[in-house]
Amino acid sequence: MKRFMVGACIAVFILGCVTACRGQKIPWKASGGSGESAAPVAPGDLKAELPPAQYRRVMKPIEAQVALAEKAMEPYNKEMEKPEEKRRQALLIKCKERAAACYLGASTAAKSALRLVKKDSHKAAIKQQYEQPNKEKAIDIYLELALDAHGSGDLRRTVGYYKKVLSIDRANTQAKQALIKLAEQYKQAMKDRKKGGSKGGGDIKGKNEDWDVRIGKGIGNEGLENFGEFSIW
């Protein structure tokens, strides 16, 4: 008898739990039963699937910016064919800056083009084939410019390029780490200057010796530090 009563109590308890669960969303079934997040949408074929007029509206601004970027690099490529000692560095810099700006313009145009299509597959195609790749090209060029400027000892331009990268991609690790390192170098140079009466050291020299502006002003302070007079953000 006792065994029967215990079994009955257990059965009632289990039945009550099951009934209560029916009124709640079960985590592994809330998304449709599989427990997996929705799969990313495969990009469609814009040229094949969009009407010609719509395709032209989508692509024309993007292609125009890419063409300008490629045109901007033509003088650069010609200049690079010369012996290194005869290359005009100012021209090389201007060409790369112009190309980076145009690739960024192409990415922006692609982002704006998302409003011109309705299907998720078409939006995915624009993002994956035009928005993201052109943004990455712009970032790569600005990072190259930053490294070149740092190598030539131009701290102002170096910081400016890294700030530009972070204005495009706030999570860019390379730019963040580079700015932190530059801040540390500047802080150490100022310490050395105070101790020895010298005018700095390391990469802080020449026209950068008395530079005490704030690096990265206005971009934010997401997880990064300030270093006294010389601050990353």
| 33 Rama sector, left if φ>0, alpha if ψ -120 to 50, beta otherwise | left
Residue 73 has pLDDT above 90, yes or no: yes
pTM comes to 0.70
**Residue 108 vs residue 9, higher pLDDT:** 108
**Residue pLDDT, tens place only, 6-17:** 444 444 444 444
Q: What is the pLDDT of residue 40?
A: 79
Residue 230 has pLDDT above 90, yes or no: no
7 φ, ψ (degrees, to nearest 5): -60, -40
**Residue 226 vs residue 188, higher pLDDT:** 188
CB 99 within 8 Å of CB 141: yes
Mark 44-81 as b/e (b = at least 16 C-beta within 10 Å): bebeeebeeeebeebbebbeebbebbeebbeebeeeee
Residue 27 has pLDDT above 90, yes or no: no
**Residue 228 vs residue 50, higher pLDDT:** 50
Average pLDDT over residues 200-205: 46
DSSP 118: -
Q: What is the pLDDT of residue 37?
A: 52
Domain boundaries, the chain: 44-152, 153-233
**Cα dihedral across residues 130, 132, 137, 141: positive or negative:** positive
Mark 9-22 as b/e (b = at least 16 C-beta within 10 Å): eeeeeeeeeeeeee
- The pLDDT confidence band at residue 232, using thresholds 50, 70 and 90, is very low
Q: What is the pLDDT of residue 193?
A: 78
CA dihedral 189, 191, 196, 198 (to 10 degrees): 30
Query: Could you give the percent of the chain with pLDDT greater than 90?
Result: 58
Q: Which residue has the tokens 């410019």?
A: 145
199 φ, ψ (degrees, to nearest 5): -105, 50
**Residue 182 vs residue 35, higher pLDDT:** 182
Cα distance between residue 9 and residue 122, in whole Å:
58
**Residue pLDDT, tens place only, 206-222:** 444 444 444 444 334 44
